Amino acid sequence: MCQSEARRGPELRAAKWLYFPQLALRRRLGQLSCMSKPALKLRSWPLTVLYYLLPLGALRPLSRVGWRPVSRVALYKSVPTRLLSRAWGRLNQVELPHWLRRPVYSLYIWTFGVNMKEAAVEDLHHYRNLSEFFRRKLKPQARPVCDLHSVISPSDGKILNFGQVKNCEVEQVKGVTYSLESFLGPRIPAEDLPFPPATSCGSFRSQLVTREGNELYHCVIYLAPGDYHCFHSPTDWTVSHRRHFPGSLMSVNPGMARWIKELFCHNERVVLTGDWKHGFFSLTAVGATNVGSIRIYFDQDLHTNSPRYSKGSYNDFSFVTHMNKEGIPMRKGEHLGEFNLGSTIVLIFEAPKDFNFKLKAGQKIRFGEALGSL
């Protein structure tokens, strides 16, 4: 026997040893291909997790029989974030023993850099559960509202992006965009909205920009877990309509926003639309992992992350009635709603061309500070 054949001996024996498992795997993959898509995802999910966790090449033989791992994005999207967030919400409602409150809250304060000196109640024993601690109120003087500028920050947080809306696309972070129409949703009858239906990108934008010489602007504010979780009215305006999108509850931190295109369009959100002195104005509260609870103080009919609502649908509610022809008037700085844990606020509004933001991308901002003015 020549040396080359001797060297190939172990390889040939290994190939024969793998022959029967490969046949079995091919049969199994053939059976999987006949399954429904949900069942197929369920069966391939454990292998995909192992593929990304095990050392490189550990599951390479599977690729020889036609198996391909699910992408990391698809894998993350398949995680039942709504169910996990619902479970987390129930856990947050559990009352903690009096002796356990200080160590639990102190760990959270240390981890996320919470400033308890701003809290209306600094005594940690006052908060019966995690939910009450997350939704703590601030001292009245802790966040003075800027009266010199027309638009203020509705919350504490970090500025992810801001500027003019171009080509009906809005940046969630630098270089990653989402569709304005997908984010705000399909149009409904004109009598229920401050703008009529649209059929294309150009007409959609033109219906939002109701006054000649105006432009459409946006601002994205990310609330970290350590931030103050309530949000307020960013200007004097009238809320005429609410649209609730049940959806996923994926993380909205900047790293994830760079990773998943149109993340804000996938996640559960509540869109409030109306008018201010320069035309169209909207504020959208976007949910996130463990933040299935979005509360709007004047909207008692809103129930987020509810099992009765399915992803991909939306629910409309008009605040314009026969008794109330205008809607809900909101004053700048007035309490508007709250999150559990942290999330994202997106402002989309119409303003004259000389509107200027007083911001830098990535800067920290607090509720009441100026976003921009004319």
Domain shared by 155 and 259, yes or no: yes
Domain shared by 131 and 169, yes or no: no
Domain assignment present for residue 350? The answer is yes
Domain assignment present for residue 131? The answer is yes
- Cite the beta strand spans of the chain per DSSP E: 151-152, 157-164, 169-173, 176-179, 214-222, 230-232, 237-245, 269-276, 279-286, 294-296, 315-318, 328-330, 335-339, 344-352, 356-357, 364-365, 370-373
Domain shared by 93 and 124, yes or no: yes
Domain shared by 251 and 164, yes or no: yes
Domain assignment present for residue 146? The answer is no
Domain shared by 73 and 107, yes or no: yes
What's the CA gap between 162 and 10, in Å, rounded?
A: 62
Instruction: Give the per-residue pLDDT at 289.
Output: 64
Domain shared by 128 and 155, yes or no: no
For 8-31, give one letter per residue: b (16+ CB within 10 A) or e. eeeeeeeeeeeeeeeeebeeeeee
What's the CA gap between 129 and 96, in Å, rounded?
A: 6
Q: Is the pTM of this model over 0.85?
A: no
Measured CA distances, 87 to 113, 178, 190, 290 (Å): 25, 30, 39, 9
Domain shared by 226 and 104, yes or no: no
CA angle 259, 260, 263 (to 5 degrees): 135
Q: Which of 316, 319, 253 is nearest to 286 (CA)?
A: 253
Full domain range(s) for residue 84: 69-135
Structural tokens at position 192: 């229920």
Domain assignment present for residue 264? The answer is yes
Domain assignment present for residue 319? The answer is yes
Domain assignment present for residue 141? The answer is no
Instruction: Give the per-residue pLDDT at 251.
Output: 65
Instruction: Give the per-residue pLDDT at 247.
Output: 73
Domain shared by 76 and 159, yes or no: no
The one-letter amino acid code at 156 reads D
Domain assignment present for residue 144? The answer is no
Instruction: Give the per-residue pLDDT at 193.
Output: 47
Domain assignment present for residue 245? The answer is yes
Instruction: Give the per-residue pLDDT at 187.
Output: 60
Report whether 241 contacts 192 (CB < 8 A).
yes
Instruction: Give the per-residue pLDDT at 162.
Output: 92
Low-confidence ranges of the chain (pLDDT < 50): 1, 5, 12, 14-23, 25-26, 28-43, 50-54, 56, 59, 65, 67, 189-199
Domain shared by 108 and 253, yes or no: no
Instruction: Give the per-residue pLDDT at 120.
Output: 93
Domain shared by 165 and 298, yes or no: yes
The whole-angstrom distance between residue 153's C-alpha and the CA centroid of its chain comes to 18
Q: Which of 156, 77, 145 is nearest to 113 (CA)?
A: 156
Q: How do 269-276 and 237-245 pair as beta strands?
A: antiparallel
Give the chain's domain count.
2
Domain shared by 254 and 114, yes or no: no
What's the CA gap between 146 and 370, in Å, rounded?
A: 6
Domain shared by 226 and 95, yes or no: no
Instruction: Give the per-residue pLDDT at 12.
Output: 46
Catalytic residue positions, numbered: 156, 232, 343
